[in-house]
Structure 1
Amino acid sequence: MKDQVVLIVGGSGGVGTSVAKLFAKAGAKIVLAARNRSKAEEAALEINNGGGEAYVIDVDVTDSSSVFKMTDDIIKEFGKVDILVNAFGLGIIQPLLDVDPRKAKEVFDVNVYGTFLVTQSILRHMATAKSGKVVMFPGILGKAVMKGSSVYSASKFAVTGMTKALVDEHRRSNVKFTLMYLGGIDTGFWDSDLIDMRVQRDKMLTANEVAKAVYYACSQPGNAVLNEIVIQPDSHQMV
């Protein structure tokens, strides 16, 4: 990972921060892109104080001009993005009939449109360079469903479908894609008022465990690619 440029979108906490710290220890240059700049700056400061190299950049994934500016600034500064980690997303676990349509739109705007904008913007440069890795987080609810997940699963199945289509579109550009089908992770995701379920966070995956899986996927040798990873807490398995 020495001197590789790793862009983590959603790098203001949870999984994004853990991924950033692990990749930084391996010598990567980390760019943390987030709306919550203060939390991202805390993570970057910790990395830099520990001898790593991390930078913070603002982005609103639902605003095309913001996404394009983020990409332009990164390319001007570093000349490339080796790894894109789309670690952002908005959760909602509620029965369909209880969902506020405005909240549903927000979920789709962030999870689907935001993923489209960020991936398209960065992928243009990866395809030109004929090199790059893209890590997506559809989560286990982008592969299986459960009660109350209709809106959220719809957004995450869209990410799964988008990524699988991109594999075919970019077979000749040497860009590699990984889908992370992860079960419950102990992060602030569960603190949202939009999550209408009781959970046992002490039995969930940790962000550090997830970061190790992301690192493993991105460090495959030669022409190998780890297309899909499924990791779930043994008490919350879904197939």
Structure 2
Amino acid sequence: MENKIVLIVGGSGGIGSATAKRFAKENAKVILASRNKANVEKVAKDINDNGGEAFAIEVDATDEASVKKMTEEIANQLGKIDVLINAFGQGIIQPFMDINPADAKEIIDTNVYGTFLVTQTVMKNMKEDERTSVVMFPGTMGKYVMKNASVYAASKFAIQGFTKALVEEQRRGNTRFSLLYLGGVDTPFWDDDRVNMKVKKDMMLTPDEVAEAVFYAVNQPSGSVMNEVVIQPESHQLV
């Protein structure tokens, strides 16, 4: 990963920051993008203070102008992107009849439209003559369903279908796509008031475990690709 340019959108969360640190250890140039630039600046500073190379940038994944500005700044200052990791998203776990339509719209706009917008814009600014990678996190809710997850599961199934269609379109290209179906991960996701679940965080996957899986997916040897993997906690997290 020496000098590879790795863009992590959603870099302030547990998975994003852990993944950034993992890639920085291998001498990649890591860019952390988030709506809250102050949060990713802290992660970038930590990486730089420990001998890595990281940059922080502000972006609203649902705003076309903001996403274009982000990619243009990266291209002008660092060059074309090698790896895109879409680690952003919002959750909602509530009974269907109780869901506020405004919340449903926000979830779908962020998780579905945001993923489309970021991926399309970034892929236009990825290296064309070298192998590149795109990593998605549909989570287990993008593969299975559970009670009270109607809107959230819909957004995550959309990411699965979106990515699999891209695989078909890009078969003759240099971009490899990886779908990571993760079970419960100990991140701020569970602190959202819209996620009404009782969980045991100490029994969940850690962000560092996920970061290792992401690094493994991106670093598959030439001629192979890790298209899909399911990783769940050994013990069920519901109580």
Please report the TM-score for the alignment, with normalisation by the length of structure 2: 0.97
Whether the 8 Å CA contact 1:28–1:53 is kept in 2: the answer is: yes
**2:76 maps to what in 1?**
76
Q: Secondary structure at the match of 1:6?
A: strand
1:173 partner letter: G
1:139 partner letter: G
Aligned length: 237
**1:5 maps to what in 2?**
5
**1:34 maps to what in 2?**
34
Distance 1:13 1:127 in 2: 27
Whether the 8 Å CA contact 1:127–1:173 is kept in 2: the answer is: no
1:134-174 deviations in Å (ceiling 9; x for gaps): 00000000000111111000000000000000001011111
5+ long unaligned stretches in structure 1: none
For structure 1, which segment, 212-221 or 118-127, has the greater mean C-alpha deviation from structure 2 after superposition?
A: 118-127
Distance 2:229 2:24 in 1: 22
Give the Å deviation of 1:236: 2.6
RMSD: 1.1
Distance 1:44 1:93 in 2: 31
Whether the 8 Å CA contact 1:127–1:175 is kept in 2: the answer is: no
- State the identity %: 58
2:150 partner letter: S
Distance 2:161 2:74 in 1: 27
Distance 1:39 1:127 in 2: 28
Distance 1:235 1:155 in 2: 26
**1:144 maps to what in 2?**
144
Distance 1:123 1:129 in 2: 13
Q: Secondary structure at the match of 2:177?
A: strand
**1:46 maps to what in 2?**
46
5+ long unaligned stretches in structure 2: none
1:86 equivalenced with 2:86 (yes/no)? yes
1:96-127 deviations in Å (ceiling 9; x for gaps): 10100000000001000000000000112337
Give the Å deviation of 1:201: 0.7
Distance 1:131 1:233 in 2: 32
The ranges of structure 1 where at least 4 consecutive aligned residues each deviate by more than 4 angstroms after the TM superposition are none
Give the Å deviation of 1:129: 4.0
Please report the TM-score for the alignment, with normalisation by the length of structure 1: 0.97
